[in-house]
């Protein structure tokens, strides 16, 4: 935060609109975490824009006392691209869901990520269509019964973080709606220049309650969650277990750590700039492995908005902006 940025408090980020999600919805926790984190980011409400598509999560902008644009289904990345290119000084946030961001808007998400527009993407993954009343989504597990799949879904789900990494994302993180670490992850996402992709496991209490309970439950979290940190060993279960590289299988494996000697157990150290490691972490089958959370991949490069601005400027150097001369260009002739 620089000295010129006015100090804001949580209430400065709350709009006067009554929040209309179902009581108990995970969205409330995410909203609060975002509002609580904003004062720490060195941005002002007037320079912040929240852009969303369609779905429960996409009502988010109405509850933020910032500029907000509730657009159309799946297209928030496109609108955000125009906003950021027109005014790169704005802090642009996208709020989307598994249906909005990965089904109808999957194409836009792909291109947003590969272009690396400087924006934060908060993808609320609840593995279900909430606003349309409970159909299975592209992240639903095989066999999900829903109004549109009474005999169970038969298609394979997409892994949001693996998708993002495959698209060339340069910041990929994972968090849980009610987890205290969400704020920290959001701060890291904001600090990254480029598209920051944050998958947030969000509990839909009406249509998919407790679908993440097996790893989200606080009681068993120590054994089921691994919060990765750059430069730190990949340990969980209070240091009793770790992730090591299985060189023969070209994958990760869980190893026991005796007496805290993780080096002896061969536990790998997290390198957030390593895309292959990140891909292994986000694709670990849960059960056999814990759920990887936190900033899994972070490897910055030039942002799309910066590149566009730079090219616009370079292409203008030494060129006249005389409109009259422009329209009279080419081979001309004069009639007396």
Partner 1 sequence: MASSAEKIEENEPGDVSAVVVRFAGDSGDGMQLTGGQFTLSTALAGNDLATFPDFPAEIRAPQGTLFGVSAFQINFGSRTIRTAGDAPDVLVAMNPAALKTNVEDLPEGGMIIADSGAFTDRNLSKAGYEANPLEDGSLKKWQLLAIDMSEMTLEAVKPFGLGNKEALRSKNMWTLGLALWMFDRKRQPIIDWLTAKFAKKPEIAEANIAALNAGHAYGETAELGYAFQPRHVDRAPADPGLYRTVTGAEAISLGLVAGSKLANVPLFFGGYPITPASAILHHLSRLKQFGVTTFQAEDEIAAIGAAIGASYAGSLGVTSSSGPGIALKGEAMGLALVTELPLVIVNSQRGGPSTGLPTKTEQSDLYQAIYGRNGDAPMPVIAVRSPSDAFHCAIEACRIATQFMTPVMLLTDGYIANAAEPWLVPEVDSFKPFPVTFHEDAPGEGEKFNPYSRDGKLARPWVKPGTPGLMHRIGGIEKSSSTGNIDYSPSNHQEMTDIRVNKILGVADHIPAQDVALGEPGERLAVVGWGSTYGPIHQSVSRARDAGKSVAQIHIRHVWPLPKNLGELLKSYDRILVPEMNTGQLKTVLRDQYLVDARPLNKVSGQPFRIAEIEAAIEEQLDG
Binding site for partner 1 (CB under 8 A): 15, 17, 44-47, 49, 51, 61-62, 64-72, 75, 77-87, 89-90, 107-108, 110-111, 308, 311-312, 315-316, 319-321, 323-324, 326-336
Two tokens at 186? 């959001």
Cβ partners under 8 Å of residue 191, min gap 6: none
Nearest approach in angstroms of CB 82 to partner 1 is: 3
> Which is nearer to partner 1, 301 or 326 (by Cβ)?
326
Query: Of the two residues 49 and 176, which places its CB atom closer to partner 1 in the complex?
Result: 49
Task: Give min distance, CB of 106 to partner 1, in A.
Answer: 11
Complex with partner 1: residue 91 or 179, whichever CB lies closer:
91
Work out how close the CB of 35 gets to partner 1 at its nearest, in angstroms, rounded to a whole number: 14
Q: Which residues pair with 289 in a beta bridge?
A: 286
* 80 or 128: CB nearest partner 1: 80
Radius of gyration of the chain measured on its C-alpha atoms: 23
Q: How far is the CB of 155 from partner 1 (least distance, A)?
A: 23
Nearest-approach distance from CB 328 to partner 1, in angstroms: 5
Phi, then psi, of 120 in degrees rounded to 5: -100, 125
SS3 state of residue 253: strand
What tokens appear for 26 in the block? 């995970």
User: CB 97 → partner 1: shortest distance, Å?
Assistant: 16
Minimum CB separation of residue 167 from partner 1 in Å reads 12
Which of residues 156 and 334 has its CB atom nearest to partner 1 in the complex? 334
Neighbours of 161 (CB within 10 A): 25
Q: How distant, in Å, are the alpha carbons of 185, 201, 283, 332 from that of 129?
A: 25, 14, 23, 61
Give the C-alpha separation, 248 to 66, whole Å. Answer: 51
Backbone torsions φ then ψ of 183, nearest 5 degrees: -55, -45
Helix or strand holding residue 323 (H, E): helix 323-327
Residue 85 vs 240, nearer CB to partner 1: 85
DSSP string, 286-305: BTTBPEEEEEEEE-----HH
State which residue, 60 or 136, has the beta carbon closest to partner 1.
Answer: 60
Looking at beta carbons only, is 46 or 209 nearer to partner 1?
46
Nearest residue to 135 (alpha-carbon basis) of 155, 106, 120, 121 = 155
* Helices marked H in 172-269: 182-191, 213-216, 221-224, 262-265
The DSSP letter of residue 306 is H
Alpha carbons 118 and 113: distance in angstroms, whole number? 10
Supply the minimum distance, in Å, between the C-beta of residue 168 and partner 1: 14
């Amino acid at each position: 935060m620089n000295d010129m940025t006015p100090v804001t408090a949580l209430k400065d980020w709350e709009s006067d609109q009554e929040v209309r999600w179902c009581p108990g919805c995970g969205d409330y926790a995410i909203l609060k975490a975002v509002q609580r984190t904003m004062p720490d980011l060195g941005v002002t409400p007037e320079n912040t824009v929240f852009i969303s598509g369609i779905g429960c999560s996409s009502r988010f902008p109405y509850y933020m006392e910032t500029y907000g644009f509730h657009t159309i289904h799946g297209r928030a990345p496109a609108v955000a691209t125009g906003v950021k290119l027109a005014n790169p000084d704005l802090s642009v946030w996208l709020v989307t869901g598994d249906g909005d961001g990965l089904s109808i808007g999957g194409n836009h998400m792909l291109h947003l990520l590969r272009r690396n527009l400087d924006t934060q993407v908060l993808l609320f993954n609840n593995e279900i269509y909430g606003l349309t009343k409970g159909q299975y989504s592209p992240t639903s597990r095989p066999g999900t019964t829903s109004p549109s799949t009474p005999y169970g879904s038969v298609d394979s789900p997409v892994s949001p973080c693996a998708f993002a990494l495959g698209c060339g994302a340069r910041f990929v993180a994972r968090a849980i709606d009610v987890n205290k670490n969400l704020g920290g992850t959001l701060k890291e996402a904001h600090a990254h220049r480029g598209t920051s992709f944050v998958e947030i496991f969000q509990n839909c209490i009406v249509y998919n309650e407790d679908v993440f309970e097996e790893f989200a439950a606080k009681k068993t979290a120590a054994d089921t969650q691994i919060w990765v940190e750059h430069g730190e060993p990949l340990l969980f279960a209070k240091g009793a277990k770790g992730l090591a590289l299985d060189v023969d299988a070209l994958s990760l494996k869980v190893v026991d750590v005796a007496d805290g000697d993780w080096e002896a157990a061969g536990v790998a150290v997290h390198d957030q700039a390593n895309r292959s490691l990140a891909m292994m972490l986000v694709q670990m089958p849960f059960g056999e492995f814990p759920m990887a959370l936190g900033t899994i991949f972070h490897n910055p490069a030039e942002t799309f908005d910066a590149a566009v601005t730079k090219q616009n400027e370079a292409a203008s150097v030494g060129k006249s902006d005389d409109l009259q001369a422009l329209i009279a260009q080419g081979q001309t002739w004069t009639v007396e």
